[in-house]
A and B are shown apart, each in its own frame.
Chain A
Amino acid sequence: MPDLEDKPRLDREIIAMRVAKELPNGGYVNLGIGIPTLVSAYLAPGQVVFYHSESGVLNCGPLAEEGEEDINLINAGGQFLQPVPGMSYFGSADAFAMIRGGHVDVTVLGAHQVSARGDLANWMLPQRGVGNVGGAMDLAAGADDVIVAMEHTDRQDHPKIVEECTLPLTGKGCVSLIVTDLAVVRCTPDGLVLEEVAPGWTAEEVQELTAARLMISPDLQEYQL
């Protein structure tokens, strides 16, 4: 086995580009912080998505240009938004009724770990002693589909896809798809199915950097952009 640590991997923009293909046309989508935030830049021509923000905005448009920011128009990541036709504003109770009530079709979240059963851990690193749960547990429980967009391994190159999460959970069995800089992995009732690998990577190499067993899809293919 060659030294996989030094082998080139896909960058965050490519992960975001791959996730964008998963968003349903006309769907209501909530994007988390980090790589998920980048997804909105990569919609296909004609693909229409309505973005929901926990800050109380539906149909969020692009970020505001410098010098044109409105103090009162921000997304959940604290970024200023451009006002666009069709936006609506509401309070926190309504923002989360939309989430828990199943009205949000897809959420894209970052993760510290995802388990073989689709458990998600993304709100706390115990060495920090405190955590930011924010809206993640509501999204994990309420969105129809939870897509995780993350690097395949952490900064010490430990696998982030694991048999059992060792970090505090955000939700159990909630993840439907994992998109990383090495692979696309689907969470199924039978376990994790490797569907796509990054260019130049083999299924065996991806398995090497994954701490849970991957079933290889009979239709395994190169990362589809």
Chain B
Amino acid sequence: MKNKILQSFDEAVADIPDGSTVMFPGFGVGSPQNLIAALNRQGAKELTGISNGHGGTTGRVDVGTLIEAGQVRKMICAFTAPTHPSRITPFVQKYNDGEMEAELLPQGTLAERIRSAAAGIGGFFTPASVGTELAEGKEHREINGRTYVLEFPLHADYAFIKAWQADTFGNLQFRLAQRNFNPIMAMAAKTTIVELENEIVSVGELDPDKIHVPGIYVDRMVIIPPDGIWETGP
């Protein structure tokens, strides 16, 4: 069996080339901070990020760290404004300066586009955003008396995942609200890299009924060392 366990985050992200599309999960919690810090050290540029938010509001490592370093060319996300108007995030600065592009999506559309990529779906119709500027230019269709817009799958080259526990096969478990975008992003990317909060257990030690992401989707795993980055909440 292929060994999916790597010893360092730097090794896990070493081959990510410039121009890659990378998925970053997290919704307050569940953010793969150690992988993001490693990609920041690695220095890949011209990245497209797919994420719920654009980071940069908490002072901690998140996708905003890569944006601030000038590594990201485009963000596809559901939040483009800082939560407080007085705070100018790295994203807002670069967006206003014309250095970055952004595609803003309803959060549910973002999630379903990722899930569609994971599941091999070519597109889907959603009622969210109908009648708003986010639906402009998109194909509309009336189905059973209701209007929907056509949305396409969002694929990625890499997904960075934060999980609670795994076995050596790469079966993953999450804890509480840590799950958010993690499972669908793990499923949607060509290469899925996981950072783990706990030791990797032997195959058979996790209850097969309680696996949130089966190992078929997982390529690389690294355990967060005691001196790594640990989440402190939103």
Report which A residues bind B (CB closer than 8 A). Answer: 53-57, 69-76, 78, 80, 89-93, 95-96, 99-100, 119, 124, 128-138, 140-142, 168-173
Contacts and interface: CB of A to CB of B under 8 A. Distances in A.
Interface stretch (B13-21, B176-184, B199-207): B176-184
Given A55-B180, A100-B127, A133 B233 contact: no
A171 B184 contact: no
A71 B182 contact: no
A172 B111 contact: no
Contact of B132 (A70, A90, A170): A170
B80 interface: yes
B81 A131 contact: yes
Contacts of A173: 131
Contact of B107 (A54, A119, A129, A172): A54
Interface of B: 27-30, 52, 78-81, 83, 85, 92, 95-96, 102, 104-112, 114-115, 126-134, 174-184, 212, 231-234
A72 B78 contact: no
Contact of B112 (A54, A93, A172): A93
A100 B126 CA distance: 8
Contact of A91 (B85, B102, B183): B183
A100 B107 CA distance: 11
Given A92-B27, A133-B134, A169-B133, A72 B104 contact: no
Closest 8 CB pairs of A and B: A96-B108, A138-B108, A172-B131, A78-B234, A137-B106, A130-B80, A72-B176, A92-B111
Contacts of B111: 91-93, 95-96
Q: Is the interface of A mostly helix, strand, loop or mixed?
A: loop
A142 B109 CA distance: 12
A135 B129 CA distance: 10
Nearest to B102: A130
A137 B177 contact: no
A57 B232 CA distance: 19
Contacts of A71: 29, 231-233
A97 B27 CA distance: 17
Contact of A133 (B28, B105, B127): B105
Given A93-B184, A130-B81, A138 B177 contact: no
A225 B105 CA distance: 38
A176 B170 CA distance: 47
Contacts of A137: 106, 108-109, 128-129, 132, 134
A172 B135 CA distance: 12
Contacts of B181: 91-92
